[in-house]
Structure 1
Amino acid sequence: MELIHEFLEDFYKTYGSFIPLSRGDVLDHLRQKLKSDLSAWMVFISKEVDRYQVVITAAHLPCFTVTHNRHMLTLDDLTTLDSQNWVNDQVINMYGELIMEAVNHKAHFFNTFFYNQLATRGYEGVKRWTKNVDLFSKTLLLIPIHLESHWSLVSVDLVSYSIHFYDSQGLVFQQAMESILHYITTEAKEKQHAAFQRGWVLMTNRWMPQQKNDGDCGVFLLEYCKCLALRRPLRFSQQHMPKIRKRIYKELCECKLTQ
């Protein structure tokens, strides 16, 4: 029991809650420590984990925060990754930062407020957002699009001169792609990158992982971004969402992506 208690206490201190905990985490720890078959003890272990989780949660009320560069997440922010909650802007923006770091800033992730600012105020409203960023030294731009209560993604491939739209409900928002195209060509003109002022193709990706509920669009957005930045195929589905939510929670607390 002591091994279980120690593990759970350390886990709670590291992640601020048991939201990202899975039974596999506990079993892997015990197998590593005991180096034996635990099959006969599964029922006992599960009951003890459940019991001691309640004990720890009742005894600790930490003011848990995660800080990384200019980002700060509270436990309330991280709790948006629980169950089928809608993930909030703070979670999305910090995860975007971790994506950029994972690829040595060859990809650029735009703040979640960028597109709304662009849509309402035009290029002049976001002109200074790239004051310290050379977009045209990147290979990929990732732009979250928030439409009322739903997240979509526009990606800009600066190698193939293509702009793509990703949506986990199969929606198509042509205006968003056209707005981003206008932004990119205007930015290219302002920064004197003639090669990026023409030759662009707009593409809607219809065959992609789709959500089956109303709460996971933000998680799909983040997984699209991670896969695209790491140049991986989009091989996940609705059934993977609980596991992906737990993984994202851990990555945010550890301030790095798991490869």
Structure 2
Amino acid sequence: MAKSSRLRSRPVNRSGLQQLPTRLLQYPLVPCKGRITVTQEDLACLDAGEFLNDVIIDFYLKYLLLEGVGGSVAQRSHVFSSFFYRQLSRRRAAGEDHASSVPDRHIRHQRVKTWTRNEDIFTKDFLFVPVNQESHWFLVVVCFPGLDVVRHEDFQPAAGGPDRPAGKITVNMKPQQPPECTQQGWRKRRVMKRSCILVMDSLKLSNHENVCRLIRDYLQVEWEVRRKTPRLFTPDSMRSCSCRVPQQDNSSDCGVYLLQYVESFLQNPVVHFDLPVRLENWFPRQRVRQKRDEIRSLIMRLKDKEPNK
């Protein structure tokens, strides 16, 4: 079973004191709220066979959204940190027990309500939620959270080719026929849009039903708080789907696949939401095999660009 990286024990110097991790980079490079600190210890997670930790996951997702891929899809998307679902899903703490009469979904929402204080997620088309469940990474994509009916619209092909991350390592790979439901593969004039939850799991080991329920509960309370009106988010009004996606062939790459799912979605998004969604040929396995070196090179390039170096 693929596991996330756990914090390694810190090295000890000759005097017997623990050494602090060596800071490599703070991203974004420009000082701002929510910067991510990447250490030498985090970089070791990118070694072959190691499990990615939350720092590497959050760093690369932020990079993809801010400057790695760009384009209209990124502008219409919101990425939650890996800590979001961890906070949302944890059991009630001792200090929360006194509020036994308060519905569970309100208690959970209370923990994370400030994270979207300055952003209305219901104006976004896509919400990316990295999930670590039973030490296994997978991705949840909430599509059109503000849409309350199924719509059929004219298909608007994207102008030009797909966006590519800056500095991306290129490897000769056989071209694949893109999935029919995606931007590059769609050949019809009309598309279906619906509010739904897409689960992308490279091993399919986890039970996703509870994850989808907690996310629907969160959206329901967030809608009430932001829009000041009630709205039910149910399995009928917001269906969930375990997508058929490229699968890992080892025990350590679940986090790498999660990152590639997001990158592929930003480059070649799903445009037709007739469930279930089939994305088996979204990207070749070789692209994932180069991902660790790609992220390592990116971190070192950004480190060299960091001010005051």
| 1:250 Cα offset (Å) | 2.6
Matches within 5 A, 1:194-233: 197-198=232-233, 199-205=237-243, 207-232=244-269
Distance 2:262 2:230 in 1: 26
| 1:64 Cα offset (Å) | 6.2
Tell me how large the CA RMSD over aligned residues is. 2.3
| 2:200 pairs with one of 161, 166, 171 | 166
Identity of aligned residues (%): 30
Distance 1:183 1:209 in 2: 29
SS of equivalent residue, structure 1 residue 191: helix
Decide whether the 8 Å contact of 1:164 with 1:177 is kept in 2.
no
SS of equivalent residue, structure 1 residue 163: strand
What's the counterpart of residue 26 of structure 2? 67
Larger Rg: 1
CA pair 253-161 structure 1, distance change in 2 beyond 3 A: farther
In structure 1, give the amino acid aligned to 2:210.
Q
| 1:68 Cα offset (Å) | 1.3
Distance 2:40 2:222 in 1: 38
SS of equivalent residue, structure 1 residue 236: coil
Distance 2:230 2:295 in 1: 37
SS of equivalent residue, structure 2 residue 46: coil
What's the counterpart of residue 58 of structure 2? 93
Matches within 5 A, 1:26-105: 65-69=24-28, 70-101=35-66, 102-103=69-70, 104-105=74-75
| 1:73 Cα offset (Å) | 0.9
Distance 1:196 1:154 in 2: 21
Distance 1:128 1:170 in 2: 32
TM-score, with length taken from structure 2: 0.57
Decide whether the 8 Å contact of 2:264 with 2:283 is kept in 1.
no
User: Gaps (5+ residues) in structure 1?
Assistant: 1-62
| Matched pairs, number | 192
| 1:75 Cα offset (Å) | 2.1
Distance 2:85 2:260 in 1: 19
| 1:227 Cα offset (Å) | 1.2
4+ residue stretches of structure 1 with deviation over 2 A? 102-106, 193-199, 229-242, 248-255
Decide whether the 8 Å contact of 1:97 with 1:109 is kept in 2.
yes
In structure 2, give the amino acid aligned to 1:189.
E
What's the counterpart of residue 250 of structure 1? 297
| 1:165 Cα offset (Å) | 0.9
| 2:119 pairs with one of 133, 141, 144 | 133
TM-score, with length taken from structure 1: 0.67
| 1:147 Cα offset (Å) | 1.2
The superposition leaves residues 26-77 of structure 1 with CA deviations (integer Å, 9 ceiling, x where unpaired) of xxxxxxxxxxxxxxxxxxxxxxxxxxxxxxxxxxxxx661221311212221
SS of equivalent residue, structure 1 residue 80: helix
| 1:148 Cα offset (Å) | 2.3
Q: Does 1:108 align with 2:81?
A: no
User: Gaps (5+ residues) in structure 2?
Assistant: 1-21, 29-34, 93-107, 148-193, 270-278, 303-309
